[in-house]
């Protein structure tokens, strides 16, 4: 797979989050360090790494996404910021003119001629009528290579091995233009972006007027891709980037991020020498795969279920032992919010599996839960673990911090005390449990 090492390092980071007890500053610092190490190993520029991880840290310290617990929120923040880092959205080639012309530019050996063939195959599979046009007059073998690729993927081609002026080759081909949906133009490279190459690209651009001018760049140059992409962007006005040889280098992370920051979207990545070895580049899908998620939605759902079950198990054990603090109240509220999970708690308490919970108990709790969640997010770990330490100045601080009324904080604490008392009385009998629920009627505690 592309970027194996980066992927496995990032997956370790996610596992660490999932297996941690608390999401606290210590964990966030560790996570941030490991992400930094993973990205640096993949040759991502150190300034970019620091910028990214600062954003992750800042968000992780203050955000709580609704419907997700702290661990999931942290995972989602990491995912979202990596996606943004790589350009956020998929930017496909738009076919709103006939023909659409894609011109490939780049240095020697970056993979232009190979990519021309790959693109032809990719789009001819999607029903486009295609021609490859060879304008690389610098390398005698380039025209033959293009012809070979065209024959291989069964599309038309136009080359002229005797002509030394690319603009003339184009003008001879031009009258056939309208026969095609897509024309892919291969151009000459140089060892570096010289004035001569810039001028040649300008002349060809003027003659061809392509809708897309894509820079082909090899991933093995790592973060130095930034300089190349910027130079081509500034002097030739590229509309996007294709990064080749992604499969063969550990430095691909550097190349990808270096290009993403130039503002030129990455359209495709090349992952091998064969004509099929081309993938569209979609930051969301790419990061999901890198993180081993397949699809973030499915994973988060799965994570949610797994964590719910663990929480339910822990909670039921605590309830039976009579231990109970604000954190438990919080997770109880959360699981309570979902009938399914609540029945799971019940199933785990001996004798409780047959208990029917009145639906009304669950209704109208959403608002209260939201408010209490804000309050709890403003509590310290000590306060959550040992709510008895609350005095009026703590209450005031938490109210201010969470933007809620002092009365709401007091209500929460009152509810906590009541729940705790009830739980102490609860000896595991079904009848007592039902009585207790009646007494607490309408509250998201048991």
Task: Report the interface residues with Mg ion, using CB under 5 A.
Answer: 112-113, 142
Return the one option of Mg ion, ligand GDP, none that residue 292 interacts with (CB less than 5 to 8 A, by type): none
d(Cα 171, Cα 392) in Å, to the nearest integer? 84
* Sign of the Cα pseudo-torsion (364, 365, 369, 372, in order): positive
Report 388-407 residues binding ligand GDP (CB under 6 A): none
* C-beta of 169 vs 336, nearer to Mg ion: 169
If the CB atoms of residues 272 and 285 are measured against ligand GDP, the closer one turns out to be 272
SS3 240: strand
Structure-block tokens of residue 185: 């133009």
Residues 208-247 that bind ligand GDP (CB under 6 A): 216, 244-245, 247
Select from ligand GDP, Mg ion, none the partner in contact with residue 272, using the beta carbon and a kind-dependent cut-off of 5 to 8 Å: ligand GDP
Please choose, out of 45-53, 112-120, 168-176, 418-426, the segment that lies near ligand GDP by the rule CB under 6 A: 112-120
Nearer to ligand GDP, 121 or 245 (CB): 245
d(CA 149, CA 246): 20
251 Cβ neighbours under 8 A, 6+ residues apart = 42, 43, 219, 220, 221, 222, 223
Residues making up the chain, counted from first to last: 446
259 beta partners: none
Q: Is the Cβ of residue 2 or residue 13 nearer to ligand GDP in the bound state? A: 2
Question: What residue number has its CB nearest to ligand GDP?
Answer: 270
Instruction: Tell me the torsion sign for CA atoms 99, 100, 102, 103.
Output: positive
Number of residues that bind ligand GDP (CB under 6 A): 19
Which does residue 248 touch among ligand GDP, Mg ion, none (CB within 5 to 8 A, set by kind)? ligand GDP
Told to check if 387 binds ligand GDP by CB under 6 A, we report no
Shortest distance in whole angstroms from residue 142 CB to Mg ion = 4
| Contact of residue 32 among Mg ion, ligand GDP, none (CB under 5-8 Å per partner type) | none
Report the C-alpha gap between 188 and 201 in whole angstroms.
Answer: 9
Nearer to Mg ion, 45 or 113 (CB): 113
Residue whose CB is less far from Mg ion, 23 or 188: 188
> Cβ 105 to ligand GDP, closest distance in Å?
9
Of 279 and 383, which CB lies nearer to ligand GDP in the complex structure?
279
Which residue in this structure is represented by tokens 């009627």?
A: 441
Residues 258-297 touching ligand GDP, rule: CB under 6 A, are 270-273, 277
Among 112, 128, 344, 415, binds ligand GDP (CB under 6 A): 112
Residue from 50, 57, 90, 108 in contact with ligand GDP (CB under 6 A): 108
Neighbours of 114 (CB within 10 A): 25
Q: Which is nearer to Mg ion, 113 or 226 (CB)?
A: 113
Minimum CB separation of residue 104 from Mg ion in Å reads 9
Q: How far is the CB of 136 from ligand GDP (least distance, A)?
A: 7
Q: To 5 degrees, how large is the angle CA 431–CA 432–CA 437?
A: 100
| Of residues 270, 348, 230, 236, the one with CA closest to residue 112 | 270
Which window, 13-21, 31-39, 111-119, 412-420, contacts ligand GDP (CB under 6 A)?
A: 111-119
Question: What one-character-per-residue DSSP string does 154-223 give?
Answer: T-EEE--TT---HHHHHHHHGGGGGG-SEEEEEE---SS--HHHHHHHHHHHHHH--SEEEEEEEGGGGG
- Closest separation in Å from C-beta 258 to ligand GDP: 17
Q: Read off the DSSP letter of residue 63.
A: -
Cβ–Cβ under 8 Å, residues 235 and 193 = yes
Q: What is the spatial distance between Cα 290 and Cα 9, in angstroms, rounded to a whole number?
A: 10
Nearer to Mg ion, 13 or 142 (CB): 142
User: Under the rule (CB under 6 A), what is the footprint of ligand GDP?
Assistant: 106, 108-114, 189, 216, 244-245, 247-248, 270-273, 277
């Amino acid at each position: 797979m592309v970027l194996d090492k980066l992927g496995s390092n990032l997956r370790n980071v996610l596992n660490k989050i999932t297996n941690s007890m608390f999401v606290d500053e210590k964990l966030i610092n560790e996570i941030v360090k490991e992400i930094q190490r993973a990205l640096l190993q993949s040759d991502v520029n150190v300034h970019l790494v620091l910028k990214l991880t600062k954003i992750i840290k800042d968000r992780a310290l203050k955000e709580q996404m609704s419907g997700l617990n702290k661990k999931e929120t942290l995972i989602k923040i990491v995912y979202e910021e990596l996606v943004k880092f790589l350009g956020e959205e998929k930017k496909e080639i738009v076919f709103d003119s006939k023909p659409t012309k894609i011109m490939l530019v780049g240095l020697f050996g970056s993979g232009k001629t190979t990519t021309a063939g790959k693109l032809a195959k990719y789009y001819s599979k999607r029903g486009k009528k295609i021609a490859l046009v060879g304008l690389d007059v610098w390398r005698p073998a380039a025209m033959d290579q293009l012809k070979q690729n065209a024959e291989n993927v069964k599309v038309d081609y136009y080359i002229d091995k005797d002509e030394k002026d690319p603009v003339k080759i184009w003008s001879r081909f031009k009258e056939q233009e309208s026969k095609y949906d897509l024309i892919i133009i291969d151009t000459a490279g140089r060892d570096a972006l010289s004035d001569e190459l810039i001028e040649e690209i300008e002349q060809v651009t003027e003659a061809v007027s392509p809708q897309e001018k894509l820079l082909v760049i090899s991933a093995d140059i790592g973060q130095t891709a930034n300089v190349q992409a910027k130079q081509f962007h500034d002097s030739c006005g590229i509309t996007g980037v294709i990064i080749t040889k992604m499969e063969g280098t550990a430095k691909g992370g550097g190349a990808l991020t270096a290009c993403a920051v130039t503002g030129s979207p990455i359209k495709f990545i090349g992952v091998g020498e064969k004509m099929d070895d081309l993938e569209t580049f979609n930051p969301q899908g790419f990061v999901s795969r890198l993180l081993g998620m397949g699809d973030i939605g499915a994973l988060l759902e799965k994570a949610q279920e797994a964590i719910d079950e663990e929480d339910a198990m822990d909670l039921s054990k605590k309830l039976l032992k009579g231990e109970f603090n604000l954190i438990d109240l919080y997770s109880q509220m959360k699981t309570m919010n979902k009938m399914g999970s609540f029945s799971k708690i019940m199933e785990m308490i001996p004798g409780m599996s047959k208990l029917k919970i009145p639906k009304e108990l669950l209704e109208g709790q959403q608002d209260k839960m939201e408010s209490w969640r804000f309050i709890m997010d403003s509590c310290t770990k000590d306060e959550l673990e040992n709510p008895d330490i609350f005095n009026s100045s703590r209450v005031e601080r938490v109210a201010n911090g969470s933007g809620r009324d002092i009365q709401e904080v007091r209500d929460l604490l009152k509810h906590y005390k009541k729940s705790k008392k009830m739980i102490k009385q609860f000896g595991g009998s079904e009848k007592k449990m039902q009585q207790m629920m009646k007494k607490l009627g309408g509250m998201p505690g048991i």
